[in-house]
Structure 1
Amino acid sequence: MSKTPPNTYDAIVVGTGISGGWAAMELCRAGLNTLVLERGRPVAHGDYPTANLDTWDLPYHDRMTEQEKTAHYEKLQRKDYIMRQSTKHWFVRDDEYPYTEKRRFDWVRGYHTGGRSLMWGRQCYRLSDLDFTANAREGIAVDWPIRYADLKPWYDYVSRFVGISGRPEKLGHLPDGPFLPEMPLNCVEDRVRSGIQRRFPDRTVTPGRAAHLTAYDPTVHLGTRSDCQYRNRCMRGCPYGGYFASNSATLPVAAATGKLTLVNHAAVREVIYDADTQRATGVRVKLTETGEDTEYFSRGVVFLNASTLNTAAILLASKSAAQPNGLGNDNDQVGRNIMDHHHRTGASGSFSGFADKAEYGRKANGFYIPRFVNLGDAGSKRDYLRGFGFQGGASQDGWWKLVREADISLGADLKQRLTQAGGDWSVGMTAFGESLSNPDNRVTLNEDLLDKDGLPTLTMDVAFGENERLMREEMGVAAAEMLEAAGAKNVRMYREEAHPGFSIHEMGSARMGRDARTSVLNAHNQVWNCKNLYITDGSAMTSASCVNPSLTYMALTARAVNHAVGELNRQNI
């Protein structure tokens, strides 16, 4: 009779971000004693040190010094809007966790409980069959092994729990869901909507579909949550739980079951593979606070949710006599086919005539314009594949208008003028375009350059291609023509250099497919040659669509846990 080794659980989850949190909650609620491993430090819900600070409470007016950026954030500073005193503690330092670039890659990471669920953009959209069938229809990469009908019940399931505000639009290529009340468009955004749809009837402007509770229901939105407070300080962490994050939602629910064990400062080196049973039996871990190496074991399943590139790194490092190229990598597909959305092009303009209008609160959302090209009809066909959507918003001049106008009022007069509405409104929109799967876009392990924890780092060899270049030529032009049609003045188009990683939507490193020879995962997110190992973060994506992907990761995760629990009960894995 074999003795169960210490540190043994029913299930192991690697990562606490959006998909890892969902895996933990669903496994715990199914009754499995679940170990969750987080590489970074512990962060409890509410442990958000800058959430209630004003700009003047922060060093350097919330700016980071050039010396600090150069010393610690050589690459991260490319994404300048996150380089703030109020948010820097969420982001990994480049000098501690370096990576190598054959081609430029802007990698944004967060190692702490909750991962990037604490500072994500919160936009939630579904893929449709336009997306799920695109690869097969166009002969690109491999076919998704699922269709919208397979994922729809799970989209519905996670959407109800997350709480997504939005407006139904009845668009086949942007499926609706069980929405909470929308965050209404402001007066200028509504003007943009009516102007665009008058000139372009085939283009829809809708409130962004956002993971913000606009009608909190404690019987549905479990965890430690409440209604959005319209503070627009989301990237600092929300002490109210007004937006969805692992820390306030899935992890507290998992903990309440009594089945959760969460270990921080636990960097997973590799998955332990048993060649005789073709199962993952556990993981080898570096406990980074002590430097100790240890092993944890699973009698059931292992879920890898370390984020796309780190999941690939773990698989590539999981070498054995039976799997010399890394676990699941017999076909050399692990780490390939990296995709991200390309943006940094769009347009801006201004509106007058709304000086007597003002917004109440700070809405952490704007508008969304779904894809309107290559929808399958002759009128929308372009000379490139796939398409793009727009995210945008409008805002009014605030107190800074008095600075710009060199106002010399003092005392009570200045205070009165600061409280008055007035000034022009500005509006802007940015396109997000789909990138195609390409096997030459890949990451590989660099065992000569180790990070601060002593783990191998990654070498990035990823770039956008000709299809993306052709698409980008239309994206900015389309934004400008829509703003002009809406009546905006001073319309300016912009197009800046774009590189993978910048959208923080990297995906595809261990894609799903129908054939073990060309993919890493099957239709249930199982590694083909290791059926109790599931991967449900962005690694699993077979194509990118042009919409924000996090909702799809959540739906895939809930669906995969349901399958895993069923297979365990049937003793199939």
Structure 2
Amino acid sequence: MNLNIKAKDQNTYDAIVIGSGVSGGWAAKELTEKGLKVLMLDRGKPLEHVKDYDTATKNPWEFPHRGRITVEQRETHPKLSRDYPYSEHNEKFWINDSQSPYNESKRFDWYRPDIVGGKSIMWGRQSYRLSDMDFEANLKDGIAVDWPIRYKDIAPWYDYVERFAGISGQKEGLPQLPDGQFQPPMEMNCVEKDVKKRIEEQFKGRIMTIGRVANLTQPLPGRSNCQYRNLCSRGCPFGAYFSTQSSTLPAAVKTGNLTLRPDSIVNSIMYDEKTQKATGVKVIDKHTKEMIEYYAKIIFVNASAIGSTFVLLNSMSNRFPNGLGNDSGVLGKFLMDHHFRTGASGIAENYDDKYFFGRRANGIYIPRYRNIGSDKRDYIRGFGYQGGASRGGWGRGVAEMGVGKDFKERLTEPGQWSMGLGGFGECLPYEDNKVTLDTSVKDAWGQPVLNFDAEFKENEMKMRKDMMEDAAAMLEAAGMKDIKTYDNGSYPGMAIHEMGTARMGRDPKSSILNEWNQVHSVKNVFVTDGAAMTSASCVNPSLTYMALTARAADYAVKELKKGNI
């Protein structure tokens, strides 16, 4: 009889971090730098910084299908292939739908990565702070539950993560969009500058600023400034934007306290009824399908909003028959995403002698102005705009019946200037927008799958009308011609800003997490990704995940040292 009595010791750490994306990377960095031995688990395959960005410097003609995906890829990725993020440029970064299916009572586009670093490699990098207007909104509107924190609680942590991540932007002094610790802003082009001037002259209370973006305009240690290539979603060999690989992972590795285990599918969290704490996690090795147990004093759940909620829902015990920490019954409910794909565009005349330099990996931003002060609409909350101006390229000739020298030479000249504004609107937290476990279907590793049942409702639909019409009105006031409006429809998930499902709150009877992102009833488990969001705001949320994670890690280590967890 040969018992390996050291096996448990070998698999024991101070902390386990589930997921390696935007928030998981921050959790690993903060916990290792505070002296904890950390195991970071990710279901994705390894992706080494620079070396594994194998399409980052390819020219368009070097892709066999010019960026498009094949029929076979559409068949093996039936959900991913419905929209633009999954392309030949980065197809190896994404999960295989057919091995990891999910069900939809209503359509939900769930974009899941299959790499260490998660969506931090492919994200859009727009980085905005929530304001007190956002943190107070649920309470004031009598909707869902109140956030257990306010802006003052998280502001120092926004400062902290912005300095490390590197956010370029312009200070504007707006209460609804707090300023941050910015690197110098990227420059608007000539059309954008004129549009900004005219909008601000004609619409009181509206401003147009350059996007606040996690692309460096000044180098940071180990990272170069942005090269204006606009190929970010392939991975950046310059480290010019914030990602796990360029930023938080090197910091964690430097401590000597990190163990990274890729290809590790976290199945569930183990719970001890006697101590009322989590003891560790069960992991399925992606290749061998072996179940392995790892143990730790603290667990940070950062598998993305939906991924984290799956882990909690699948962590059932006598104490928690409906999922770990789910005494309130709200786990999986109040699923949110931003709604977008509506706005307007127009032609800018009289700029034909002007062009712009490079391919700026950023656009302009018009912060929320609806339902602020005396402005009252027939819906609540609001929206912001992203967009920009550019000149048409040779692609405009694709549909033309042209041939010959003159036709080709015309396409070497830049096309017309155009300016577009696309809205991003807030979605309210609705109890019946939810995700649940479906045990009737199993993935390739024998786990139950998730079923989505969520939709945008009347408030969002009323808002979308304004999002489209206001965009047209501003472009018209700015002198644009041939203005066209559009509403291409928006399904939850499409904006890839999924939030909620394990929300923060003041009362354990109506929330999963407290003000420190700590599970109310399991004090050594923290959830600091999008699952924790109590409301959605209308701004891109990733910066808030970073700040919440750094704040929670600081609290967790202090509580651990005090013997409270």
TM-score normalised per structure 2: 0.96
For 2:519 and 2:86, the matched residues in 1 are separated by 37
Q: CA deviation at 1:542?
A: 0.3
For 2:287 and 2:341, the matched residues in 1 are separated by 39
Structure 1 partner of 2:316: 319
Q: Using the TM superposition, name which of 152-161 and 347-356 deviates more.
A: 347-356
Seen in structure 2, the aligned counterparts of structure 1 residues 310 and 402 have a Cα distance that, compared at 3 Å, is: closer
Mapped pair 1:21 → 2:25: yes
1:408 to 393, 404, 408: 404
Mapped pair 1:384 → 2:376: no
Structure 1 partner of 2:427: 435
Mapped pair 1:464 → 2:456: yes
Q: CA deviation at 1:69?
A: 4.3
For 2:497 and 2:261, the matched residues in 1 are separated by 26
Q: CA deviation at 1:323?
A: 1.1
Structure 1 partner of 2:113: 110
> For 1:26, what is the secondary structure of its paired residue?
helix
AA at the equivalent of 2:447: L
AA at the equivalent of 1:256: K
- Report matched runs for 1:334-413 at 5 Å: 334-375=331-372, 377-378=373-374, 380-400=375-395, 404=400, 406=402, 408-409=404-405
AA at the equivalent of 2:501: S
- Report matched runs for 1:195-206 at 5 Å: 195-206=198-209
Seen in structure 2, the aligned counterparts of structure 1 residues 248 and 346 have a Cα distance that, compared at 3 Å, is: same
> For 2:345, what is the secondary structure of its paired residue?
strand
For 1:526 and 1:115, the matched residues in 2 are separated by 23
AA at the equivalent of 2:332: G
AA at the equivalent of 1:52: T
- Report matched runs for 1:379-528 at 5 Å: 380-400=375-395, 404=400, 406=402, 408-409=404-405, 422-528=414-520
RMSD: 1.6
Q: Using the TM superposition, name which of 147-156 and 93-102 deviates more.
A: 93-102
Mapped pair 1:529 → 2:527: no
Q: Deviation per CA, 1:495-551, whole angstroms, max 9, x where unpaired?
A: 122110000000101000000000000000000000110000000000000000000
For 1:394 and 1:52, the matched residues in 2 are separated by 25
Structure 2 partner of 1:263: 261
For 1:288 and 1:485, the matched residues in 2 are separated by 56
- Report matched runs for 1:172-251 at 5 Å: 172-218=175-221, 224-251=222-249
AA at the equivalent of 1:193: K
> For 2:9, what is the secondary structure of its paired residue?
coil
> For 2:96, what is the secondary structure of its paired residue?
coil
Seen in structure 2, the aligned counterparts of structure 1 residues 464 and 217 have a Cα distance that, compared at 3 Å, is: same
Seen in structure 2, the aligned counterparts of structure 1 residues 294 and 427 have a Cα distance that, compared at 3 Å, is: same
For 2:166 and 2:90, the matched residues in 1 are separated by 25
Structure 2 partner of 1:272: 270
Structure 1 segments of 4+ aligned residues over 4 angstroms from their partners: 401-405, 417-420
Structure 2 partner of 1:71: 75
For 1:569 and 1:185, the matched residues in 2 are separated by 49
Q: CA deviation at 1:419?
A: 5.9
Q: Using the TM superposition, name which of 3-12 and 94-103 deviates more.
A: 3-12
Check whether the contact 1:352–1:423 (CA below 8 A) recurs between aligned residues. Answer: no
Check whether the contact 1:335–1:443 (CA below 8 A) recurs between aligned residues. Answer: yes
Q: CA deviation at 1:325?
A: 1.2
Check whether the contact 2:127–2:167 (CA below 8 A) recurs between aligned residues. Answer: yes
Structure 1 partner of 2:159: 156
Q: CA deviation at 1:487?
A: 0.6
Q: CA deviation at 1:408?
A: 3.1
For 2:464 and 2:13, the matched residues in 1 are separated by 49
Q: CA deviation at 1:401?
A: 5.2
Mapped pair 1:42 → 2:46: yes
For 1:364 and 1:284, the matched residues in 2 are separated by 40
- Report matched runs for 1:63-142 at 5 Å: 63-65=68-70, 67-79=71-83, 81-142=84-145
Check whether the contact 2:94–2:115 (CA below 8 A) recurs between aligned residues. Answer: no
1:332 to 329, 332, 338: 329
Structure 2 partner of 1:287: 285
AA at the equivalent of 1:463: E
Check whether the contact 1:476–1:495 (CA below 8 A) recurs between aligned residues. Answer: yes
Mapped pair 1:146 → 2:149: yes
Structure 2 partner of 1:221: none
> For 1:481, what is the secondary structure of its paired residue?
helix
Structure 2 partner of 1:54: 59
For 2:505 and 2:378, the matched residues in 1 are separated by 27
Q: CA deviation at 1:405?
A: 8.6
For 2:418 and 2:435, the matched residues in 1 are separated by 40
Q: Deviation per CA, 1:240-290, whole angstroms, max 9, x where unpaired?
A: 111100011101110111000000111011001111111111000101111
> For 2:217, what is the secondary structure of its paired residue?
coil
Check whether the contact 1:342–1:500 (CA below 8 A) recurs between aligned residues. Answer: yes
For 2:93 and 2:118, the matched residues in 1 are separated by 8
> For 1:427, what is the secondary structure of its paired residue?
strand
For 1:483 and 1:77, the matched residues in 2 are separated by 33
For 1:169 and 1:563, the matched residues in 2 are separated by 32
> For 1:530, what is the secondary structure of its paired residue?
coil
AA at the equivalent of 1:406: G
For 1:463 and 1:236, the matched residues in 2 are separated by 31
> For 1:526, what is the secondary structure of its paired residue?
coil
For 1:61 and 1:518, the matched residues in 2 are separated by 50
Q: CA deviation at 1:84?
A: 1.9
Gaps of 5+ in 2: none
Check whether the contact 1:22–1:558 (CA below 8 A) recurs between aligned residues. Answer: yes
AA at the equivalent of 2:494: F
TM-score normalised per structure 1: 0.95
Q: CA deviation at 1:402?
A: 6.0
For 1:428 and 1:89, the matched residues in 2 are separated by 31
Q: CA deviation at 1:418?
A: 6.2
Counting aligned pairs with the same residue, the percent is 53
For 2:73 and 2:266, the matched residues in 1 are separated by 28
> For 2:183, what is the secondary structure of its paired residue?
coil
Gaps of 5+ in 1: 219-223
For 2:27 and 2:462, the matched residues in 1 are separated by 38
Mapped pair 1:558 → 2:550: yes
Check whether the contact 1:312–1:539 (CA below 8 A) recurs between aligned residues. Answer: yes
AA at the equivalent of 1:16: S
